[in-house]
Structure 1
Amino acid sequence: MRLNLFFLFLVITVMLMGCTSKDKVDNSLEEIKKKGEFVVGLDDSFPPMGFKDENGEIVGFDIDLAKEVAKRMGVNVKFKAVDWDGVLLSLKNKNIDVIWNGLTITEKRKKEIAFSKVYLENRQIIVVNNNSSIKRKEDIIGKIVGVQLGSSSENALNSSEISKELKEIKKYSNNTEALMDLKAGRIDAVILDEIVGRYYMEKKPGVYRILEDDFGKESYGVGIRKEDVKLKDELNKILDEMKKDGTAKNISEKWFGEDIVTR
Structure 2
Amino acid sequence: MNSKLTRRDFTTVLAGVTGVALLNSLPASAQEEDLLAQIKKRGFLRVGTFSIPPETWIDIDSGEWKGIDADFTRAIAKSIGVEVDPVVLVHAALGPALEGNRVDVIAGLYRTAEREKVMAYNKVPFWYGIDVLISRKEGGIGRVEDLKGKVIGTVRGSAQELEAEELKKRYDIEDIRKFDAADPMLLDLKAGRLDAAIWWGYTFDYALQKNPSYDFKVVEYLSPEYLGSDKFPATHYVFAKKGTESLIEAFDAEIRRMQSAGDDKQIMDSYGLTNPAYITGVPK
Q: For this structure pair, what is the TM-score category when the shorter chain's length is used for normalisation?
A: 0.7 to 0.9
Partner of 1:16: none
> Deviation above 4 Å: which 4+ runs of structure 1?
none
Q: Which amino acid aligns with 2:279?
A: V
Q: Which amino acid aligns with 1:235?
A: F
Q: 1:29 and 1:210 mapped to 2: Cα distance?
A: 42
Helix, strand or coil at the partner of 1:79: strand
CA positional deviation for 1:213: 5.6
Helix, strand or coil at the partner of 1:157: helix
Helix, strand or coil at the partner of 2:110: coil
Helix, strand or coil at the partner of 1:96: coil
Cα 1:77–1:133 shift into 2, 3 Å = closer
Cα 1:176–1:147 shift into 2, 3 Å = same
1:112 partnered with 2:118: yes
Cα 1:187–1:247 shift into 2, 3 Å = same
RMSD: 2.4
Unaligned runs of 5+ in 1: 1-21
CA contact (8 A) 2:132 2:198 kept: yes
CA contact (8 A) 1:138 1:162 kept: no
Q: 1:203 and 1:190 mapped to 2: Cα distance?
A: 20
Could you tell me which of 70, 73, 76 is aligned with 2:77?
A: 70
Q: 1:170 and 1:33 mapped to 2: Cα distance?
A: 42
Give 1:88-127 correspondences, 5 Å limit: 88-100=95-107, 102-116=108-122, 117-127=124-134
Q: 1:163 and 1:112 mapped to 2: Cα distance?
A: 30
Q: 2:162 and 2:150 mapped to 1: Cα distance?
A: 18
CA positional deviation for 1:122: 2.0
Give 1:55-204 correspondences, 5 Å limit: 55=61, 56-100=63-107, 102-116=108-122, 117-162=124-169, 165-204=172-211
Instruction: Give me the TM-score of the superposition, normalised by structure 1.
Output: 0.81
Could you tell me which of 235, 238, 241 is aligned with 2:251?
A: 235
Q: 2:176 and 2:168 mapped to 1: Cα distance?
A: 13
CA positional deviation for 1:133: 4.7
Cα 1:63–1:213 shift into 2, 3 Å = closer
Partner of 2:19: none
C-alpha deviations, 1:226-258, integer Å up to 9, x for none?
Answer: 221000000000111111123222211111342
Task: Give aligned-pair identity as a percent.
Answer: 27
Larger Cα-atom Rg: 1
CA contact (8 A) 2:136 2:189 kept: yes
Unaligned runs of 5+ in 2: 1-28
Q: Which amino acid aligns with 1:261?
A: I
Give 1:200-215 correspondences, 5 Å limit: 200-206=207-213, 207-212=215-220, 214=222, 215=226
Cα 1:163–1:149 shift into 2, 3 Å = farther
C-alpha deviations, 1:2-35, integer Å up to 9, x for none?
Answer: xxxxxxxxxxxxxxxxxxxx9xx76121111011
More off after superposition, 80-89 vs 209-218: 209-218
Partner of 1:5: none
Helix, strand or coil at the partner of 1:222: strand
Give 1:22-37 correspondences, 5 Å limit: 27-37=34-44
Q: Which amino acid aligns with 1:255?
A: Y
C-alpha deviations, 1:180-232, integer Å up to 9, x for none?
Answer: 33223332111122212222222332432112362443111000112210000
C-alpha deviations, 1:14-71, integer Å up to 9, x for none?
Answer: xxxxxxxx9xx7612111101111100011x211111123424331110111111111
CA contact (8 A) 2:164 2:176 kept: no
Q: 2:160 and 2:86 mapped to 1: Cα distance?
A: 24
CA contact (8 A) 2:45 2:82 kept: yes
